[in-house]
């Protein structure tokens, strides 16, 4: 196991060294291509439908080459892609079966820069609402009205469309629209993509979220996902499709402003939570102190075998010191400039489970920093999933840590009490004569002085702690002064004289100690307070009679 961990570290180190050699270029996936739906999210698609995909993060001036495979990279007949632009394509899912596919965009050069998106072809938890359903509200705009069109390529054979005029007669302030209210976590607008299509504006819960232009020539694609949005908070939502009365500049149709509603599909179930990278640390730390930030994975439902996590922090407040794996089965490597730390983890003994601590990162408060709050954040989090060999994004988190202000505690009273106590202690003589002290009383007094001194020397002690220590020490001084041996020391029965009655009490309890059952009563006969009644106590009483 240890050999394998060392080998992995060597491999990672070699990669970094090679990448830093002059004249060599190694592409790092710090900024990979992002594959997504052109008009919204794209992690699922209904079988037999199409949607427009786009690639972002491509080097300016470059294009991409699109492909679709099974999740493991093998060929698939579940979907096809057709390139429609330098960065776009149309994805069409098979109408015959469900499954999972991987859509890939590779930059068209030798850099190897690429991106991918896993997409499910499914109807699980999706409810389809046809254009004719009464739950959809259609609002006309003057003479611009919604009409029904029959076509076997449409969902259930019908679709409703509106064609705004391309002139000033179209009321842009009160345009035609279709509205649908649903309860769930996701929504799809199923329409069309062809050379008749015009521009539509999409609103969710009253807020404009997208401008959709599904124009494409010369293709005609029905049951096209014009818009998709996933991950909404579970509850009631309203989608509104507004016919903008505009068309694509490349359109030669007049009017080329048609907007069609074929159906709406919405997700009813609450989606599973994404994995999340959780940071744990103390809420506050002292100036100049060292502290630890724990990194854990939560909401884990897939077999995670590797982690690529980036932390950011303010280098003017905190210094990175060290990192340690939380488990010997997780090999950890970290690198990065001040203010950023990239952490790579490999789980060589199997996948991590939910709520698993991966690593502990050591930080230190920079010298001179106090009285501020600063945040350590997870800015990127990629997880490697097996056996599919794919990467997923995890939810991010952060932790705000307060560096306490340097204390301005007033310790003058405590210092004065300590000086008085030490003088009293140093001048106290142990003996049996009047004015002397028993050794036991002096030992107790010394412990009180030591406790007060601990608070006095504590740079982090609060004012209440200092005040309490001073009060306790002054009380100890009073008690020590009261313990001085005097003329009535040994007057056990309180008769104001030392006589045979006191001697009888000592004789009666002679031989008892703190372990004796009757020690509560016998303790009064322990004149020198050494925890036992013996010859010293007897002799002291006899001597003073």
Query: Could you write out the DSSP letters of every residue in 83-102?
Result: E-SSSEEEEEE-SS--EEEE
With beta carbons less than 8 A apart as the criterion, state whether 432 and 484 touch: no
CB-neighbour burial class of residue 419 (10 A; exposed 0-12, middle 13-18, buried 19+)? exposed
pLDDT over 70 at 10, yes or no: no
Most confident of 39-43, 229-233, 379-383: 379-383
CATH of the domain at 443: 1.20.1270.90
Instruction: Tell me, yes or no, whether 94 lies in a domain.
Output: yes
Residue appearing with tokens 């509205």:
179
CATH of the domain at 184: 2.60.120.260
Instruction: Tell me, yes or no, whether 66 lies in a domain.
Output: yes
Q: Which domain holds residue 290?
A: 276-403
* 357 lies in the same domain as 443: no
- Return the SS3 of 329: coil
* 529 lies in the same domain as 439: yes
* 377 lies in the same domain as 491: no
What does DSSP say about strands 284-285 and 398-403: parallel, antiparallel, or unpaired?
A: parallel
pLDDT, one tens digit per residue, over 204-226 is 999 999 999 999 877 788 888 89
Number of domains in the chain: 4
pLDDT at 1: 44
Query: What are the structure tokens assigned to 17, written together?
Result: 């060294």
- Return the SS3 of 406: coil
* 55 lies in the same domain as 87: yes
Residue appearing with tokens 């006589």:
499
pLDDT, one tens digit per residue, over 320-362 is 999 999 988 899 999 989 999 999 999 988 888 778 899 999 9
* 104 lies in the same domain as 170: no
pLDDT at 271: 54
**Domain end marker among 121, 155, 173:** 121
CB-neighbour burial class of residue 249 (10 A; exposed 0-12, middle 13-18, buried 19+)? exposed
Instruction: Tell me, yes or no, whether 79 lies in a domain.
Output: yes
**Domain end marker among 237, 267, 297:** 267
* 325 lies in the same domain as 364: yes
pLDDT over 60 at 418, yes or no: yes
pLDDT, one tens digit per residue, over 147-181 is 999 999 899 999 999 999 987 778 778 899 999 99
* Percent of the chain topping pLDDT 90: 60
pLDDT, one tens digit per residue, over 254-301 is 899 999 999 999 988 665 667 899 999 999 998 999 999 999 999 887
Spatial distance between the Cα atoms of 296 and 322, rounded to a whole number of angstroms: 17
Question: What is the DSSP-derived secondary structure letter of residue 272?
Answer: P
pLDDT at 125: 58
* 218 lies in the same domain as 177: yes
CATH of the domain at 37: 2.60.40.1080
- Residues 536-541: contacts with CB within 8 Å, 24+ apart? 537/506, 538/503, 538/506, 538/507, 538/510, 540/432, 540/490, 541/490, 541/492, 541/498, 541/502, 541/503, 541/506
Instruction: Tell me, yes or no, whether 261 lies in a domain.
Output: yes
Total residue length of the chain: 545
- Return the SS3 of 117: strand
> How many CB atoms lie under 10 A from the CB of residue 466?
22
* 427 lies in the same domain as 506: yes
Question: What is the DSSP-derived secondary structure letter of residue 155?
Answer: G
**Domain end marker among 121, 137, 166:** 121
CA angle centred on 263, ends 259 and 269, rounded to 5°: 135
* 78 lies in the same domain as 162: no
Spatial distance between the Cα atoms of 329 and 397, rounded to a whole number of angstroms: 24
* 348 lies in the same domain as 440: no
């Amino acid at each position: 196991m240890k050999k394998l961990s060392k080998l992995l570290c060597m491999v990672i180190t070699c990669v970094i060294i090679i990448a830093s050699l002059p004249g060599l270029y190694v592409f790092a996936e710090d900024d990979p291509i992002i594959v997504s739906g052109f008009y919204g999210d794209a992690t699922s698609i209904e079988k037999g439908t199409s949607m427009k995909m786009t690639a972002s993060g491509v080097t300016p001036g470059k294009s991409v080459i699109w492909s679709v495979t099974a999740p493991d990279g093998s060929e698939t007949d579940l979907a096809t892609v057709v390139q429609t632009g330098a960065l776009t394509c149309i994805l069409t899912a098979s109408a015959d079966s469900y499954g999972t596919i991987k859509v890939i965009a590779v930059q068209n050069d030798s850099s190897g820069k690429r991106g991918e998106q896993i997409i499910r072809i499914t109807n699980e938890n999706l409810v389809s609402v046809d254009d004719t359903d009464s739950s959809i509200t259609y609002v006309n705009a003057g003479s611009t009205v919604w009409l029904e069109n029959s076509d076997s390529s449409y969902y259930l054979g019908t679709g409703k469309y509106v064609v705004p005029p391309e002139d000033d007669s179209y009321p842009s302030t009160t345009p035609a629209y279709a509205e649908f209210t649903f309860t769930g976590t996701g929504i799809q607008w199923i329409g069309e993509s062809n050379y008749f299509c015009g521009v539509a504006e999409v609103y969710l819960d009253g807020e404009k979220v997208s401008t959709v232009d599904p124009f494409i020539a010369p293709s005609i694609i029905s049951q096209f996902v014009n818009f998709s949005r996933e991950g909404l908070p579970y509850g009631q939502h309203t989608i509104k499709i507004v016919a903008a009365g505009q068309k694509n500049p490349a359109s030669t149709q007049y009017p080329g402003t048609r907007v069609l509603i074929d159906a709406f599909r919405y997700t009813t179930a609450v989606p599973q939570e994404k994995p999340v990278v959780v940071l744990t640390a103390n809420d506050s730390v002292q100036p100049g102190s060292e502290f630890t930030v724990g990194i854990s994975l939560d909401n884990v439902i897939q077999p995670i075998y590797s982690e690529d996590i980036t932390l950011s922090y303010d280098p003017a407040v905190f210094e990175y010191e060290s990192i340690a794996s939380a488990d010997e089965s997780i090999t950890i490597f970290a690198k990065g400039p001040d203010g950023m730390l990239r952490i790579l983890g490999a789980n060589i003994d199997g996948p991590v489970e939910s709520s698993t601590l991966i690593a502990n990162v050591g930080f230190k408060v920079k010298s001179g920093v106090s009285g501020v709050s600063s945040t350590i954040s997870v800015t990127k989090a990629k997880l490697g999933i097996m056996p599919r060999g794919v990467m997923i994004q995890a939810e991010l988190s952060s932790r705000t840590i307060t560096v306490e202000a340097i204390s301005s505690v007033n310790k003058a009273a405590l210092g004065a009490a300590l000086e008085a106590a030490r003088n009293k202690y140093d001048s106290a003589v142990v003996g049996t004569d009047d004015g002397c002290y028993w050794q036991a009383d002096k030992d107790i007094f010394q412990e009180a002085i030591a406790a007060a001194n601990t608070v006095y020397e504590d740079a982090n002690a609060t004012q209440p702690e200092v005040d309490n220590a001073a009060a306790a020490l002054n009380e100890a001084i009073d008690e020590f002064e009261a313990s001085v041996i005097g003329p009535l020391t040994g007057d056990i029965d309180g008769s104001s004289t030392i006589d045979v009655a006191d001697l009888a009490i000592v004789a009666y309890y002679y031989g008892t100690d703190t372990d004796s059952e009757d020690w509560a009563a016998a303790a009064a006969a322990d004149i020198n307070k050494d925890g036992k009644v013996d010859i010293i106590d007897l002799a002291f009483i006899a001597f003073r009679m």
